[in-house]
Amino acid sequence: MKLLVVEDDTTTSTYIARGLREEGHAVDVVADGRDGLVQATTGQYDVLILDRMLPELDGLTLLKTLRGAGNATPVLLLTAMGAVDDRIDGLNAGADDYLVKPFAFGELSARVNALARRPQALEQETTLRAGDLTMDLITRRVTRAGQEIDLLPREFALLEHLLRRKGRVQTRTMLLEAVWDISFDPMTNVVETHISRLRAKVDRPFDTELIQTVRGAGYRIDA
C-alpha cells in the first residue's frame, strides 16, 4: 500500500513512517504543506496522513484544495486539538477520519487500514464535483477555484442535475422534466435562458468552460 505522510515534526513523522514500513507499506514523507499538495496530486496514494498544523500551507487548506481539485484519496487528519469543532471542521473539509495526538501507533495503523479497505466514494453523496467546481448540497454552497458563487434556486437545481449526470448529454426535454417537472414543451426557451444565466456565474468568470452545449442535442457538464 502506498502512503503519504505530511508532517513537519520529524520525531512524529519518522515514528509513523517506520511503523508503517514495518507493516510492509511504501511510505513517502514530506514536511510542509506545499510539498504535500504537490506530492498528493502527482503520486497515486492509497491514504494520506495529514497533520493539521503545517508550515507553508495549513493541513485543512491543503485538504480543501485537494478535494476542490476532485481528488478523493482517503485522508486521515492528525490534530493536536481535541475540540469537537475542530473535528467537524476537519470532516467538513473532506477528511475521512481524524486522530487526536498523542496516539498509539496501533491506533494509527488500524485507522489507515480501515480507510484503505473502505469502499471509497461512500461519503461523496453530499458533495458534487466537476473540475475545480464544488457543490455542497447540505450547505447549499457552490464554489469554483475556491471562490464562492451564489446561485438562484432554479440555477442551483439545474446545475445539480447536470452534475449528477456529469459527462452525459441532457436534452432540453430531460431537463424540463427533471428540473421544471413539466412533461410538455412550453414553446419557450426557458432552458436556454437558465443555462445562459448559469454560465454567466459559473463559467464566464473562469478560464475553462464546464457547461458545454451539444448542438442539436442539449447540454453537458464536463471537466
DSSP state of 218: E
Give yes or no for residue 24 binding a copy of itself (CB under 8 A): no
The CA-based angle 145-150-154, given to 5 degrees, is 120
What distance in Å separates the CA atoms of residue 139 and residue 127, rounded to the nearest whole number? 10
Give yes or no for residue 167 binding a copy of itself (CB under 8 A): yes
| Nearer to DNA among residue 41 and residue 189 (C-beta) | 189
3-class DSSP assignment, residue 164: helix
| Nearer to a copy of itself among residue 14 and residue 139 (C-beta) | 139
* Partners of 211 in beta bridges: 221
Which run of H or E residues covers position 185?
none
Give yes or no for residue 103 binding a copy of itself (CB under 8 A): yes
3-class DSSP assignment, residue 114: helix
Give yes or no for residue 203 binding a copy of itself (CB under 8 A): no
Interface residue with a copy of itself among 38, 80, 88, 223 (CB under 8 A) is: 88
- Total residues interacting with DNA, rule: CB under 7 A: 24
Q: Which residues, in sequence order, are CB contacts of 52 under 8 Å at separation 6+?
A: 58, 59, 60, 77, 78, 79, 80, 81, 86, 90
Which residue stretches of the chain are H helix? 10-22, 33-42, 59-68, 84-93, 105-117, 153-164, 172-175, 190-202
* 110 touches, from a copy of itself, DNA, none (C-beta below 5 to 8 Å by class): a copy of itself
Give yes or no for residue 83 binding DNA (CB under 7 A): no
| Nearer to a copy of itself among residue 38 and residue 223 (C-beta) | 223
| Nearer to a copy of itself among residue 152 and residue 200 (C-beta) | 152
Binding site for a copy of itself (CB under 8 A): 82-85, 87-88, 91-92, 100, 103-104, 106-107, 110-111, 113-114, 118, 122-123, 125-126, 129, 138-140, 152-153, 156, 167-169, 214-217, 220
Binding site for DNA (CB under 7 A): 152-155, 172, 180, 186-190, 192-196, 199-200, 213, 215-219
